[in-house]
Each structure stands twice: as structure tokens, then as C-alpha cells.
Amino acid sequence: MLGVGLGLTCCVVGSAIAATPVGFWERVVDKPYMHLPVRNGAPKRLIRWIVDDTLAREFEIELAEGEPDFWTYTEVKTYMGKTLRLEVDPFPKDDTWVNTVTLSNRWPEMDTLYRERLRPQFHFSPSRGWMNDPNGLVYYDGEYHLFFQHNPYGRQWGNMTWGHAVSEDMIHWRQLPDAIHPDKLGTIFSGSAVVDHRNTTGWQKDRHKPIVAIYTSAGGSNVQSRDQPFTQSIAYSTDRGRSFTPYQGNPVLGHIEASNRDPKVLWHEPTGKWVMILYLDRSRFGLFGSLDLKNWSQMSEVWMPDGHECPDLFELPVDGDPKNTRWVVWEAAGRYLIGDFDGQTFTPESELLESRFGANDYAGQTFSNMPSEDGRRIQIAWMSGGIYPGMPFNQQMTVPRVLSLRSTRDGVRLFIEPVKEIERLRGLENRMDDLTLGESPRKIQGVQGDLFDIELELEIGDSERLGLDVRGHRIEFLSGTNELTALDRVVTLKPEDGRILLRLLVDRTSVEVFANRGRVQMASCFLPADEESGLSLYALGGAAKATSVTVWELRSIWNLE
């Protein structure tokens, strides 16, 4: 029992606080949420959840002694009526924290949740804690599922768990309890999810098809998995993704080499089997096959120079022609190869290509099991590296975006555009045409707030540079070098008939830029200053024209009425 040798500490039993030589908090669960106090930078302490004398969960937390920076929470309603004990190692000398661990009927600070100053208003972010890679993007029974790397107990990376949110339109998200928790094989690293329509696993018992999550068990990343390697595991849900059961035969794919991780799985209809692409080591990805998601064998490898983690593999029509398709292999940094895949071997036909040009865009993954009538390949990526000081959360996702292959003068290339569902957030519209631009900034009148959807058609004319000032940040085109700059990032953009087309999605802490109908996309985060406001157009070194400018004010997805 923890606390031995630490001297006399405190134990909470029910509502009473009693002296005891054991370092723990204990109570019969009678409310659905547990609140835990967090102080950023406090010493990390290991907490073990013991439910009726069985280890149910284990995690590290910067446990607040004294005034917390924020309260995190976890849902405990599955333990109703049972005795929950928190064992803390090392036990704090200051035992006042026991008075702040509470059970509640509400999330902490619900009155201010999603109203925080730096809270993204139409990009998904977790209610509490750290978030990184999107995981297990899958559509089933009218819902889009977004799983994600989540530290529920702090603002920094750690305790990797699969967080979970659902949406009926990919825009308005509702966060659910975390789906998959660390266990004796390791913390839960990135992966994917599929719907087992053919019941190859044998897990379908009633109406609902099994949703199967395939993920990396990151051995050695928690106390329970000390000295274990990285392996691949699965968990399944037969209740529309509301609960997941880890497979008793895990891992389903043992350690191969290095930190092999991030399985992306798809059903390959022509060969009638499941296919997994897995990161093996720098530049190398493995392709594996399975008939039941439980037994895997390696088929081949894909070489991608300096390719690194979080792969994806998918097929797209070229120029919308279903009879002319190519396969795409993608890695975390947004680089990709176009080629052919026969169910066993990927044969590249292109050089290594780039798709990511912004500062904060990583580990993109596409949805599986999209409705056949939809026909879109939709991706969400992690807007990596954003910093949200003073907030109870950290990081955000990109908006969902549509991927397509189109012919260009340089060959077939990947185009990326926001999903049309974003338009559901549009409110007040302000449109102007044929605006002459010069060195004096031309402020766009009649728009308010900090959430915008902006469409621009800019005629370059004689200008050396022209662009848009968005809340103190310039999105600018340099005509001499055909370069587009956005938040200190630069990418080549070739004008079309002397014009460039821009689509900007502006949130409180980010700007996503889509240029020339998705030929270039740039996703970047920023910290707003209080004085940053408004939108203005300008041209330097010569005259230019804004052929059309349309600005929509956007509504929040968080239902803040």
C-alpha cells in the first residue's frame, strides 16, 4: 500500500477525513464525475485507481498542493456503488489536496467551458488536457467518430489514452468519455478504426456491426508495461462506439523493430482481406494482411525517404474519374507518394510530394467507412504545436478537409479543401467586388468578431506584393517569386490567368489557408493580442484589384446560447 514510510497522512472515507498511515483517497462512488486538482509544473505523482480491490487505471498527474490551475475530470459512473480508492505515489507532504478531490454531477467549471479566451470556436479541442494525433476516424450509423491522443490529466503530453468525440456533421462535436485506457501492454498510441461489416472477427451478436480499433500498445511507457516493447493491439465495440473491450489475445501483431507503431487498417475488396500499413522505422513502412483483424502476416514494405510515423493508405479517382484511380501513401509530415496498390505491394509512380505548408499541421488521417453515396475522402489533422497559456486544454484539430487527385501541369497532385459542411456556420455575409488596392490598407467594413470564412479573388496587376491583414497577421502573395506567405511560412503558388484564389478560415487561435482551389493549404496557429482585430486588404509596389471579396462571420460550434 502506498504511503508506507511517509508518516501520518490523510484518508477521505465518504465525507469524513481521518488520520491514517496509508496514502490514499477512498470513497463509495455516488456521482458520475470525479474532479482532480492540477497545478502546471507540480511534481508528477503516480495515481492508481483501485475499484473493489482491483487495479482499474493508473496514470501520472501534476497533482496540485494548494490552489490548482484547473480541475480535470473523469467519468466514473460505471463504478456507481463501488468503493474507489486512489493510491498516490509519492504521497504529498501537504495533504490539503484530499479536500479538493470531489465527486460531482457536473464537469468542472461548466459555466465557462468552451467560453475560455483562447478556446477555438469551430476547431475541435478537448474539454480538458493535452491532445495530439487524430485516431480511429470512422463513420457508423449516422455518426462521425473522432478518437484522439489524449492526456486527460494534464496540459502536457503523457498518459496516452484514446479520447473520443462524435458528430453528425463533422462540424459540431460532442466529447464522450475516453474510449481506450493504458494497460499492462502500454499506453495507447495512435491507430485507426474500421467497421467489420462481414463479421470477420465474430464479434457481432446483435444488430450493430463491430467497430474495431487498431492501435499501438506503447510498451515501456507506463509502470505496468515496464520492459515491454511496442506492439499492435485491437479493441472492439458492439454498442455504436460507446464502450470498447480490449481483445484478450492482444497483441495481435508482435514487436517487429524499433518503435513500430501507428497502424492504419483498411478493407481491400479485390483481395478480400484487411490491409495494415505500419510505421517500422525511419523511411520504412510495412504492409500486412489479415482475414480476421486478429492474425497478421507481412506482405511487403514501402520506402519513403525520411518518412516518419502515422501513415495512411487510400485510393482516389483522378479528376473525378472512377475508372482512373491511384493509390496514395501518406506520412505524418504530409508528404505522400502516388502509385498503384494490388493488395500486397505498393508501386510508386511519383516522386515524393509535399502537401503540408503551414506551421501546425501533422499526423493527418482519413475517415474509414464513409457512406457510399458521399464519395469523399475526408481528413482531419492535428494542428501541432499551438500553445494556449492559462487554458485547461492544449492543442486543436484542423477542420475536416476533402482530399482529391487532379491533373496539373506538374502531373497528378493532391488537392485539399475544407468540407462544405463548414458553410452551416456562416452568419452575416459581407460581399464587395472590383476593389482597387494600393499601399493604404483598405479595411473591410461591417464585419465583427474573430471567426471568419473569407473568399478572395485577387488580380495581381502591377503589384509586387498584395494580400490580406487578418487580426495582425499578413497572408501575402509576392508576385516576383510566386510565393504565398502566411504566419512566417512560405510556399510557391502559381497564379492562374494573373489571379490567385484564397479561402481563409479564421478562428480565435488559428488560420487555415486554401489557395487556388486547394492546390496549396497552410494551417497555422497564433496567440491573439487584444488589439488584433479587423480585416484589411492592401497592395504594395503597384496597383492590384480584389475582383471579389466575401466575408462571412461564423458561429461557434459549442452552443453557447
pLDDT digits over 502-524, tens only? 999 999 999 999 999 999 999 99
State the pLDDT confidence band at 232, using cuts at 50, 70 and 90. very high
For 161-191, the pLDDT digits (tens) are: 999 999 999 999 999 999 999 999 999 999 9
The C-alpha angle 203, 299, 294, rounded to 5 degrees, equals: 15
Does residue 321 surpass a pLDDT of 60?
A: yes
In Å, how far from its chain's centre is CA 174?
14
Average pLDDT, the chain: 92
Does residue 528 surpass a pLDDT of 90?
A: no
CA of 560: how far to CAs of 121, 164, 221, 438, in Å? 10, 21, 38, 40
Q: What is the pLDDT of residue 452?
A: 97
Report the percent of the chain where pLDDT is more than 90. Answer: 85
DSSP string across 153-198: T-SSS-S-EEEEEEESSSSSEEEEEEEE--BTTBEEEEEEEEE-TT
Task: In whole angstroms, give the CA distance from residue 340 to residue 148.
Answer: 30
Least confident of 257-271, 306-320, 413-427, 429-443: 429-443
- Looking at residues 251-257, what average pLDDT do you find? 97
Q: What is the pLDDT of residue 18?
A: 35
Task: In whole angstroms, give the CA distance from residue 318 to residue 297.
Answer: 31
Q: Across the chain, how many H-helices and E-strands are there?
A: 0, 44
Does residue 8 surpass a pLDDT of 50?
A: no
Q: What is the pLDDT of residue 185?
A: 98
Q: What is the pLDDT of residue 120?
A: 97
- Looking at residues 109-115, what average pLDDT do you find? 91
Reading the block at residue 81, the C-alpha cell is 456503488
Nearest CA to 399 out of 552, 505, 550, 551 is that of 505
Does residue 7 surpass a pLDDT of 60?
A: no
Least confident of 7-21, 73-87, 278-292, 334-348: 7-21
Does residue 471 surpass a pLDDT of 90?
A: no
Task: In whole angstroms, give the CA distance from residue 501 to residue 415.
Answer: 14
Active site residues: 133
Task: In whole angstroms, give the CA distance from residue 345 to residue 368.
Answer: 21
Helix, strand, coil share of the chain (percent; to 5): 5, 55, 45
Domains and CATH numbers, the chain: 9-104 (2.60.120), 129-418 (2.115.10.20), 425-554 (2.60.120.560)
Quick count: other Cβ atoms within 10 Å of Cβ 201?
16
Nearest CA to 451 out of 419, 421, 422, 489 is that of 422
Collapse the DSSP code of 270 into the 3-class scheme (helix H, G, I; strand E, B; otherwise coil) and give the result. helix
- Looking at residues 70-95, what average pLDDT do you find? 88
Give the single-character DSSP code of 368.
B
Q: Which of 63-77, 234-248, 383-397, 532-546 has the highest mean pLDDT?
A: 234-248
